[in-house]
Amino acid sequence: MAFTPAELDYLGSQRLGRLATVGADGVVQANPVGFVVEDGGTIVIGGYRMGASRKFRNVAATGRAALVVDDVKSLDPWQVRGIEIRGRAEAATDPEPPVPGTTTEVIRIHPETVFTWGVEPGEESMTRRRED
């Protein structure tokens, strides 16, 4: 799935996303993470202790994740914007870390469904599209 230019600009402007994962035991968790977008639209999430983290084990066990990147654009009037990405996920070990100083263990999300709100110029309501 390719992101639009406006979506790529927005994703590049935000320092943190929040990652949702679930373990084999059904316990759900939510964590702030740094991320990069690879060519082709895959999301790569690294970290300083990624390989030892429960989120990494969760993805290894269940193969699913979602990342939401969003912020409050304006308090008055109340305007929010963001992108939610749901997809298949893998707990991988890459040859090089995605960002210098992070580990080579990464979570990679292959988007299946993307929701956006307030990101495209003039966009007022939620949009949705699905990869096939």
Binding residue (CB under 8 A) for a second copy from 6, 18, 104, 120: 18
Strand partners, 87: 65, 111
Stretch that binds a second copy, among 3-11, 18-26, 90-98, 99-107 (CB under 8 A): 18-26
Amino acid at 14: Q
Q: Does 16 bind a second copy (CB under 8 A)?
A: yes
For a second copy, the binding residues in 52-71 under the rule CB under 8 A are 62, 64-68, 70
Binding residue (CB under 8 A) for a second copy from 7, 10, 21, 116: 21
**CB closer to a second copy, 32 vs 95:** 32
For a second copy, the binding residues in 62-121 under the rule CB under 8 A are 62, 64-68, 70, 72, 75, 80, 82, 84, 86
